[in-house]
A and B are shown apart, each in its own frame.
Chain A
């Protein structure tokens, strides 16, 4: 549980403070202000835990109470603000422990040490954000700003503003520790506002880059999900072993050149003729596939369903393009 001497001291002081809970907050603060340093001396000068050497924190508190001149009467009911402060103190103590535990993960004694090292990076980022917000407020050209702080669409202004923002932010960052209280608070508050605005901007940029309006047309192959190709003649009869060509006479390869029959057996199709799998004819006569796709049967594009017309696997040669006008119906949507 206890990892370092400092944690042990913090927890001990916390327990002593809790045992003196009936004293006014200011009196406790005053009484305990030197205790951590004092206990550090105790720890440094010998072996054993603080509790072994000094007794329980409660006994320590009782000793303090009598010798420091405060006589504990009936404890006042704890005030709400005290409870809030108590919870805050406990949370801070836990946070410090976690800080030390996580330290090795970042190769430092404490995780916060690592964050401190990252501060210059934050200054640069803050400078960029400030420049972006400034450009966003000053730009009235109506053009999209993009990811640089452009004003009126000018790259030159953008780079100038970016440099000024980053340098200014670093300058402020290096001096923030020496600022007086109110300017420092103003700087922190400004940084928080910047982060919030930046989060909004980030979400907007993210959704813009995801929702590219022409993505479907430009980038997706509309034939990507075609598995097989069915050609019908004017009478709606399936043309078997059809061959299709482009304007240059090159055969078009579409779909997957293999079939599964009803029992799930896999057969590879060797020839480049369509359909690969005549069994999958989407406009097959209703008697053959009663419930295959009634809607498609009723409103199908070309073929008229003909109950009498069995699919005729006539092994004809490639149909001459002028002789018939095939209507093409992709399947496997």
Chain B
């Protein structure tokens, strides 16, 4: 099964989750997702998703000057983002457990 197809549905949630404990800049968030196991996630997808979440009013941004290299735009969850993370998280859990049950029934059947 193609993971990239699955990722498309949950990338918003994944990005929100990656920002739950700590703010991060784009490439930083990509690394967190890959470290967490989403190795197939694409650079452009994360960049695009962050911009869309920001436009949707779920994230705030601030710029941190960097001594070496360009300035970094950090993304942070705002209250609306945290609420969305919670709501989508619940939806995901429900969906995932349904899928788990479905798969388990098939396996045991």
Contacts and interface: CB of A to CB of B under 8 A. Distances in A.
A35 B49 CA distance: 13
Contacts, number: 68
Given A41-B26, A41-B27, A68-B49, A63 B44 contact: yes
Contacts of A68: 47-49, 51-52
B48 A38 contact: no
A270 B31 CA distance: 99
Given A41-B27, A67-B52, A54 B44 contact: yes
Contacts of B72: 37, 41
Interface residues of B, number: 23
Interface string A41-74: 1101100000001110001110111111100000
Given A34-B26, A38-B26, A45-B27, A64 B44 contact: yes
A54 B43 contact: yes
B70 A31 contact: no
Contact of B11 (A35, A41, A67): A67
Interface in B18-73: 25-28, 31, 42-49, 51-52, 55, 69-73
A40 interface: yes
B27 A60 contact: no
Given A34-B26, A41-B25, A64-B48, A69 B70 contact: no
B73 A67 contact: no
B8 interface: yes
A320 B49 CA distance: 113
A66 B48 contact: yes
Contacts of A41: 25-28, 69-70, 72
A4 B69 CA distance: 14
Interface residues of A, number: 24
A66 B49 CA distance: 9
A183 B32 CA distance: 48
Nearest to B44: A63
A37 B11 contact: no
A36 interface: yes
Contact of A67 (B26, B28, B44): B44
B23 to A, nearest CB: 15
Contacts of B51: 31, 34, 68
Given A63-B45, A68-B48, A44 B69 contact: yes
A68 B25 CA distance: 17
Contacts of A54: 42-44
Nearest to B51: A68
B27 A38 contact: yes
Interface string B1-21: 000000010010000000000
Contact of B49 (A31, A59, A61, A67): A67
A41 B45 CA distance: 16
Given A41-B25, A66-B8, A67-B49, A36 B43 contact: no
Nearest to A57: B44
A67 B70 CA distance: 24
Given A37-B71, A38-B27, A45-B27, A69 B55 contact: yes
Given A60-B44, A67-B52, 6 more contacts: A42-B27, A54-B43, A59-B44, A60-B43, A67-B11, A67-B48
Interface of A: 31, 34-38, 40-42, 44-45, 53-55, 59-61, 63-69
17 contacts: A34-B73, A37-B70, A38-B43, A40-B70, A41-B27, A41-B69, A41-B70, A42-B43, A53-B43, A64-B44, A64-B47, A67-B8, A67-B44, A67-B45, A67-B52, A68-B52, A69-B48
Task: Please name the 10 residue pairs, one residue from A and one from B, whose CB atoms are nearest each other, closest first.
Answer: A67-B48, A63-B44, A68-B48, A41-B27, A37-B70, A64-B48, A60-B44, A69-B52, A67-B45, A38-B26
